[in-house]
Structure 1
Amino acid sequence: MNIKKSILGIVVLLSITMAAKSQVKIGFEVSFKEPQAHYAEVEMNISGIATKTHVDVKMPVWTPGSYLVREFAKSVESFGATSNGKAVKVEKVNKNTWRVFNAKTNAVKINYRVYAFEISVRTAFIDASHAFLSPASIFMYPAGMIKTPSTVKIVPFTGWDKVSTGLEPIAGQKFTYTASDFDILFDSPMEVGTQDIFEFNAAGVRHEVAMYGGGNYDKERLKVDMAKIVEQETAIFGENPNKHYTFIVHNYAQGGGGLEHLNSTVLGASRNAYSSERGYQGFLGLVAHEYFHLWNVKRLRPIALGPFDYDNENYTTNLWIAEGFTSYYPIKVMLRAGFTNPEGFVNSNLGTIGTVMNTPGSKINSAAESSFNAWINPAYRPSENGNNTFISYYTKGQVIGNLMDLEIINATKGAKSLDDVMKAMYLQCKTLKRGYTDAEFKAMVEKISGISFTSFWDKYVTGTVPVEYAKYFAYAGIDVVNENEGKSVPFFGASTGRMAGVSGGKVIIGSVSRSSGAWNGGVNVNDEIVSIDDVPAEASIERMAVITNKKVGDVVKVSIIRDGLKKDLNVILTTNEIVRFKAALNESATPQQLVVRKKWMGI
C-alpha cells in the first residue's frame, strides 16, 4: 500500500467533507400571524445540502440550564417542505425528528408552526402583547450540523417594535441576527414586542435590560444597583467575558425564577414588588444568581454540560457546584455590594442549613446523587413524597459551598477562599476548552487550601452526614445553637392543605414526613382528616391543642375519610426533630477567628 497516497486520499476526502459543510447555509424567519392564539410561524431555509436524498431536522427535547426533558416537539404542527417551489415528501421518523426528501436538489424550505402558551423562563410564550422565544422550543437543526452557522430574521407582529436578545445583529438588516452555531442559537432567548428598555455599563460591558409587563421599578435605581452586582461578581473571576449582556425581565402579578444563558438571562418578577424592601432585595438576589452563571455553568462547567446532546438527558454529579454554589455566592455578593448586613448574611446561610437538615430526604440522598437524578427530581415533577426521598442540589450545594469556603479560609489563615478556587477553575476550563471533572474540582480545592478534602467529600458530597454547623461557624467566631435541641416536643408529622368550597373546606393531608407518628400510623396523602381525639380537625394539625397538650409517646385517635370510607387510626406522637438556629458573634473571638470572619464576609 502506498502510504503517502492513502494519507493524501484521506486529506482530500476530509477537505471535500469540510467544504461541503461550509457551503451549507441555514436561515430562519419567525413571524406571528395569530399571536393571540399563541402561535409562531417558522420558515427554515437550508441550502448547500451535500446529500441528494434527504435531510433530517430535529427539535431539541430539553433546554440547557433546565434539567427536564420537555419534549418541545409536542408543540409543533403543520410541518411541510418545498424544494424549487414544489412540495416534497416529509416523514416523521421519531418523536423529535422529521425527514425531508429533497428530490435530488441541494436546497429545501421548511415551514412549521409552534404553539407557545407556557409561562416560565424556560419555555416559549406568545400572546397579543408580546412573544418570548425560548430558542430550543422554536428552532430545529439539521442532524449532524450543530456546529453550522445560521441567521434568524424576526418579523414582529403589527404594533411590536423591539427585539431584545444576546444574538449578534447583522448590520443593515433590521431584526436579523446571526449565530455561529446552534449551541449559541439555543442559548440566546428573544423578547419581541414593546418592552421597556434601559441600559447601564459595568465592568466594561454594556448591559441591556428589557422589561415586559410593566411594574413599579425605578430604572435609575436599578441601573446603579445592578451595576454593583456585576462589578462584585466580575471581581471574583478577574474578567468579564462578554462585550454585551441582555436581561429579559418578565413582570407578572406573581412571578419568579430565572434561567441563565451565555450572554443573557431571563428573569421572572412580580411587577409591584419592587417598591418593598423585601421584593427589591429578592429581585437583586435573583439578578446576582443568574449573572453569576455567566461564569459558573456557562464557562466554568461540569464536563458533561457541553457539547450538549439535545436528544437525551445530559448527566452530571456536579450540579451541587453549578447551581448550589451559584445559590451561595449571591448571599456573599449582596453583602459585599452593601444590600445586606453581616447578621443577614449569617442567618441566610444558617437558614439554608436548617432547610437541608429539616428535609428527611437529606438523610438518604447525597448532593452527587441529587445532581445525577436532576432529570427526575421532584422540583420539576412535584411529588407528595419528594421531601422524604430527595434533597435539592441547590440547597445542599449552597451549604457545601458555605462549609468549603470556611474550611479553605481557616486552613489558609485567611490567605485564600472559595473565590480563589472558582477563579482558578474558570481559567482552567478556559485554557483546556472543556469542562471539569469532579476529581479535577476536588484537586483544585486541595491545591488552594493545602489540605485534604477527602473526608469532606465523603461526608457532604457523596455522603449524607448531618451538617457540623457549630464547627464551621466557630471558625469565624460565630456561636450557633439549635434552640430545639434537648426539647421533647410532640410531633404529628403530616402537613395539610385546605380544599375550599365544600362545607367551609376540608382538611386534606398534603405530605407525610418519614418516620413520624403519621407515617408509622398509616396516615396517607389525600386523606381527609375529620377529627383528632374527637376534636374537629384544623388546617394546622401540629398547632391543635389536642396535639400540643400531649407528650411524646402519647397515642391520638385520628378519624379520616379515605376513598369515601371512614377509618380510625392510632398515631403515636414522635419527637419533633426540626432544627431552629440562633447565632451570636463570639465577643472573645481569637485573632484567627476574626481573620476568617473578615475574609468570609469580604467586608
Structure 2
Amino acid sequence: MNKLRNAARLALTLTLTASTLAVALPAMAQSAQSLPRSAPQAVPLPHSVPDAVDTPYVGTITLDIDASDTVRAAYRVTETIPVAAGTKDLILQLPQWIPGHHSPGGTMDQLVGVQFFANGKLLTWHRDPVEVFAFHVDVPEGTQAVVAKFINTSPLQSSEGRVTVTPDMLNLQWDRMSLYPAGHYVRQIKFKPTVKFPTGWGVASALDGKTQTGDTVTWNEVEYDTLVDSPVFAGVNFKRFDLGKDVSLDVVADRPENLNVKPENVAAYKALVDEAFINYGAHHFDHYDILLALSDKLGGIGLEHHRSSENSMQPKALTDWKEFDWARNVIPHEISHSWDGKFRRSAKLWTPDYRQPMQDNLLWVYEGQNQFWGLVLAARSGVQSKESVLGEFAAYAGNFTYEAGREWRSVEDTTHDPIIANRRPKPFATMDRNEDYYTEGALVWVEADQIIREGTGGKKGLDDFAKVFFGIKNGDWGEVPYEFEDVVTALNTVYPHDWASFLKTRFQTPGQPVPLTGIEKGGYKLVWKEEPNPYEKGRIGMSKGGVSLSYSLGVGIDKEGKVTSTVWGSPAFNAGLVTGAKIVGINGRSYDADDMKAAVTAAKTSNQPISLVVQRGDRVQTIAIDYHGGLRYPWLEKTVKGEAGLDLLLAPRRPGAK
C-alpha cells in the first residue's frame, strides 16, 4: 500500500513539474531576449610595416649560406644587414608573394632557429601580429649592423612540401632563405651572396661574377630582385651544354648516365633557342641559363625567371628521347616566359616588393599565350614532335567537352584559382574548374592566330603580335607592364579586328562553346578514338598502372583501383562513383586495370550495365554504370588536303629547317 501511495505522489509531482515548465519556458525565452548583450568593438589593425618606396637601402647586405648538409636538408644562413644611424625598429621580411607563383607562396614555416645579434649580443624581436612574414628587431643605439642567423629546413618528403635537397643535387631558391628590410623597392636593396656546397658539386646560376674557392662560391653584389630571380641548381652529376646565343643548358641528374645526351638531341634545344629569337625578334637578357634537374627525387618544378628558368623532367627524358617526347614541354614553356611574363608583365602582377599582393586577372596572356608559345616552339624546334603537340591540343579540347564548370565560371575567373585554391586537390574539378587560363587560354590564342592568318591571306599570324608586343626594346632586361587595352592595341596593329569584344567574350564571359574554332579554322577537327593519342599515351603511362577513363565513364583510377577523379555529370558520377572510392570488382571478377578497360569495350555491344563492386570506407556496395560508348580518347584529325593553317603555325621558322 505504501509503495502504491508513493508512486501516486511521484506521478503527481512529475505532472505538476511538467506543467510548470510548460508555462515557464515561453517566459524564460522572452526573458533571454530582453537580457543585455555585450557588443565588443573591433580593435583597429596595426599597420606597422611601411609600404615600399623607390629609394636605396643603406649599404650592402651580405648573405652567407651553408648548403652542404644534404643529410638533414638544412640550409644554415648568416645574414649581415647594415642599419642606418638612429634605427630602433628594424623590420625584416621573408618574401611572401614571389613572382611566377601567382599566389602567396612564401615558406615562413621552414624558417627555424631565428636569432638576431648586434655587436655579439642577442637582440629581442617580435613577429608582426598582422603581417606575420615580418620580424621587428629591437636595435640598440649606436648599432651599425644586425646579424641574422637562422636555418631553412627544406622538406625531406613530399608530404612536407617541395623537396629541394637530395643526396645528389639541390635547388637553392634565395627567397626561401633571405630576409630583406621593409620600406624599399627590392631593386633598391643590394646583396652579396656566398654559398658553401657539398664537395665536388657543379654549380649553375644566372648570377654574374661567379668565383669559387674550394666548395664555396661567391657572386657579384646584386639587387635583391635579381637575386631572387636567379636560383641555383647544383649537383654531383653535372653537365653544361652550350646552346649558342649566350644560352646554356645546365643539367644535374640522379645518375651520371642520364647526362649522356646524343648530339642530335642537344641540337633540338639549340633549335629551340633559334626559334625563340626568331619568334620574338629581340631578347631581353645578356645571357640565359636553362637549369634542369633530371630527377624523380627532387621535387618537380617549372618556374620562369628573366635570365634563367628552373625545370625538372624524368631522369631519362633526354636519353630515351622518343619515349619521353610527350613530357618535354617544360623548357620551351619556361624559356618563352623570359619574353612573356618577365619582360612584359601585367601591370597588376608587377609589384615593388614581395609583400604587396599580386592581381592575376591577365594571366590568360602571361600563362595562356605562353602555353601556346611553349607548344608552338616545341614543335618548331623538334624538342617535341608535331604529333605530341597536336595530341596535347586535342587533350585540352577534349577536356572542355565535359567540363561543367565552364557554364558558371569564366576563364578569367580561373586566374584567381592559385590564390583561392592554392593548387589543392578538388573533389569535382570539372565543376569547380582549375587553372584553365593555361589550356583554354592556349586554344583561344590558336583561334586568334587563325583569325589573323585568314584575314591577311596567310601573310601574318600571332608571330607578328609576338614581335610587336614582346619584341620591343632589344637588350632591355627590365620590365614593361601592360593593361588589357595594350593587348588590344597590339593585336589591332597586326590585323584590325574587334579584338576587345573577342577577348572579353572568350576570357571574361562564362558559358562559352567548347573552344574548337581555332582548331577548325586551322584545318583540323576534334575526333574520338579508342586508343590514346601520343601525348595522352605518354601521360597515362606515367601513372604506372592507372587507367584514364575521363572521356568515357568519367573517372580516373590509380593502379590500386582507387578513384582519383570523377567528372561531374558523367555516367560514373550519376551512378555514385566518387573520388576516394576503391573499385574491388568488375563484372564478377576482382579489379584489374586491363579488365576495367575490357569491360568498357565489351559494354559497347551489350545492353547490360557495367557492374562494379566498390568500397568506400567500411562500406561495400555494387554500382551499375549504364554506359555503352566504349573507350574514348581525343585526337585532332585533318579536314583539308595539303598544308593547313595549324600546320603552318607549327612549321619551323629557321632557314633550311624541315
Is the shorter-chain TM-score for this pair beyond 0.5, marking a shared fold?
A: yes
Match of 2:219 in 1: 177
CA distance in 2, matches of 1:210, 1:508: 36
Q: Does the Cα contact within 8 Å between 1:209 and 1:247 map onto a contact in 2?
A: yes
Paired residues of 2:243 and 2:273 also in contact (CA < 8 A):
no
AA at the equivalent of 1:144: G
What residue number does 1:601 align with? 651
How high is the sequence identity, in percent, across the aligned residues?
17
Is 2:567 the counterpart of 1:513?
yes
Q: Secondary structure at the match of 1:435?
A: strand
Matches within 5 A, 1:72-83: 72-83=107-118
In structure 2, give the amino acid aligned to 1:136: D
1:46 aligns with 2:81: yes
Secondary structure of 2:424's aligned partner: coil
- Residue of 416, 422, 444 corresponding to 2:466: 422
Match status 1:198 vs 2:240 = yes
1:156 aligned to 2:196?
A: yes
Q: Output the amino acid matched with 1:467.
A: V
Query: Deviation of residue 137 (structure 1)?
Result: 0.9
Please tell me whether the aligned partners of residues 51 and 106 of structure 1 are also in contact (alpha carbons under 8 angstroms).
no
Give the structure 2 partner of residue 369 of structure 1: 413
SS at match of 2:283: coil
The change in CA–CA distance for 1:118 and 1:168 in structure 2 (over 3 A counts) is farther
- Matched with 1:142 is 181
Q: Residue 467 of structure 1 aligns with which residue?
A: 514
Supply the distance in 2 between the matched residues of 1:559 and 1:526 (Cα, whole angstroms): 14
**Matched residue SS, 2:278:** helix
Identify the residue that residue 95 of structure 2 maps to in structure 1.
60
Aligned to 1:111: 149
d(CA) in 1 for partners of 2:628, 2:501: 33
Return the offset for 1:582: 4.5
SS at 2:226's partner residue? helix
Q: Displacement of 1:57 after TM fit? A: 0.8
| 8 A Cα contact 1:119 1:125, kept in partner | no
Distance 1:197 1:533 in 2: 53
**Alignment partner, residue 188 of structure 1:** 230
Structure 1 unaligned blocks of 5 or more: 1-16, 500-506
CA distance in 1, matches of 2:585, 2:211: 71
Aligned length: 567
8 A Cα contact 1:267 1:286, kept in partner: yes
* Residue aligned with 2:344, SS: coil
Corresponding residue number in structure 1 for 2:545: none
Describe the shift of the 1:354–1:570 C-alpha distance in structure 2 as closer, same or farther (beyond 3 A).
closer
**Contact preservation (8 Å) 1:69, 1:312:** no
Q: CA deviation at 1:313?
A: 4.4
The one of 383, 389, 393 equivalent to 2:437 is 393
Offset, 1:246: 1.6
| Deviates further, 366-375 or 564-573 | 564-573
- Does the 8 Å CA contact 1:169/1:178 hold for their aligned counterparts? yes
* Corresponding residue number in structure 2 for 1:441: 487
CA contact (8 A) 1:490 1:575 kept: no
Pairwise CA distance, 1:382:
1.8
* Structure-2 change in CA distance of 1:577 and 1:318 (3 Å): farther
Q: TM-score, normalised by structure 1?
A: 0.82
SS at match of 2:481: coil
Displacement after TM superposition at 1:548 (Å): 4.5
Q: Which runs of 5+ in 2 are unaligned?
A: 1-52, 531-549, 654-658
Higher alpha-carbon Rg? 2
State the distance in 2 between where 1:73 and 1:37 align. 18
Cα offset for 1:305? 1.9
Equivalent position amino acid for 2:295 in 1? Y
Residue of structure 2 equivalent to 1:239:
282
Alignment match, 1:410: 454
1:227 maps to 2:287 = no
Query: Is the Cα–Cα contact under 8 Å of residues 583 and 615 in structure 2 kept in the other structure?
Result: yes
2: CA distance between counterparts of 1:429 and 1:443?
18
Structure 1 position 233, deviation (Å):
0.3
Deviates more, 1:386-395 or 1:148-157: 148-157
Q: What SS does structure 1 have at the residue aligned with 2:427? A: coil
Moved more, 456-465 or 227-236: 456-465
Moved more, 69-78 or 309-318: 309-318
* 1:340-361 CA-partner distances (Å, limit 9, x unpaired): 6665554443343223334444
Q: Determine the C-alpha separation between the residues in 2 that align with 1:596 and 1:410.
A: 12
2:558 equivalent among 474, 497, 505? 497
Instruction: With the length of structure 2 as denominator, give the TM-score of the two structures.
Output: 0.75
Evaluate the alpha carbon distance shift between residue 123 and residue 154 of structure 1 in structure 2; reply closer, same or farther with a 3 A threshold: farther
Q: CA RMSD in A?
A: 3.8
Q: Deviations over 1:494-530 (max 9, x none)?
A: 443354xxxxxxx433332212233234333323445
- The answer on whether the counterparts of 2:201 and 2:236 sit within 8 Å (CA) in structure 1 is yes
CA distance in 1, matches of 2:619, 2:347: 54
Which residue number in structure 1 is paired with residue 618 of structure 2? Answer: 564
**Distance (Å, rounded) in 2 between the aligned partners of 1:560 and 1:291:** 46
Decide whether aligned partners of structure 1 residues 124 and 112 sit closer, same or farther in structure 2, where only a CA change above 3 A counts.
Answer: farther
Whether the 8 Å contact between 2:343 and 2:479 is mirrored in structure 1 is no
**Structure 1 residues 179 and 467: alpha-carbon distance in aligned structure 2, compared to 1, 3 A threshold:** farther
What does residue 504 of structure 1 align with?
A: none
Residues in 2 aligned to 1:596 and 1:222: alpha-carbon distance in whole angstroms? 25
Q: Deviations over 1:527-555 (max 9, x none)?
A: 34455776665557864648843799977
Alignment map for 1:22-37 (pairs within 5 Å) = 23-32=58-67, 34-37=69-72
Deviation of 1:112 after TM superposition, in Å, equals 1.0
Q: Which amino acid aligns with 1:38?
A: A
**Per-residue deviation, residues 135-177 of structure 1 (Å, max 9, x unmatched):** 1111111112323333334242452454321112277997222
Cα displacement (A) at 1:114: 0.9
Q: 1:295·1:426 contact (CA, 8 Å) conserved in 2? A: yes
Partner of 2:640: 586
**Does residue 1:209 correspond to 2:247, yes or no?**
no
Task: Choose from 499, 512, 525 the match for 1:480.
Answer: 525
SS at match of 1:354: helix
Residues 331 and 558 from structure 1, CA distance in 2 versus in 1: closer, same or farther, beyond 3 angstroms? closer
CA shift, 1:368, in A, is 0.9
2:497 matched to 1:451?
A: yes
Question: Is the Cα–Cα contact under 8 Å of residues 317 and 328 in structure 2 kept in the other structure?
Answer: no
- 1:522 lines up with 2:572 in the alignment: no
TM-aligned CA distance change 1:179 to 1:72, over 3 Å: farther
